[in-house]
Amino acid sequence: MNGTALIHGSAALLAGLGALQVVIALHDAIREPRFLKPVDKPLLGRLKKTRPSVAAAGRSYWEGVIGLNLSSALGLFTLAFLVELAQSPLMGWIRLPLIALAALYALIAWRALPRVPAQALALATVLLAGGWYW
């Protein structure tokens, strides 16, 4: 397997994770929350009524959770796009920062997300490093 296949695989994995995150966030925003809801069932109603102190007149905490997931998905789409763009010889300088960014995503996921997305982000990071520097 050549390096290009590893890079395209990493970008596809990143974009796939972003798409999954969009589907999950939109599902919970439009329909009855299922994926992002708290385990403590009565807490969901309170989250929908609670406003964060930094934006007391703004959106609810629950809307913030949905927005955070959507913006994280946008970041994954952007990272996948930049990975594909970095295949150009003129963009080689951005490869190491992209690996570092993917590793940071994986580290945050390891601390805050379920195991499977965290492992997928770690795999995407390894594929990037292997495709560009192996």
Measuring CA to CA, which residue among 9, 2, 1 is closest to residue 127?
9
Q: Please give the sequence-ordered ranges of beta strands (E in DSSP) within the chain, or none if there are none.
A: none
Considering the entire predicted model, what is its pTM?
0.89
What confidence category does residue 53 fall into, taking pLDDT thresholds of 50, 70 and 90? confident
**For the chain, how many structural domains are there in total?**
1
Phi-psi category of residue 122: left, alpha or beta, with phi > 0 → left and psi -120 to 50 → alpha: alpha
**Domain enclosing residue 20, as ranges:** 3-133
Task: Report whether 15 contacts 77 (CB < 8 A).
Answer: yes
Residue 1 has pLDDT above 70, yes or no: no
pLDDT surpasses 90 at 58: no
106: Cβ contacts below 8 Å, ≥ 6 apart: 118, 121, 122, 124, 125
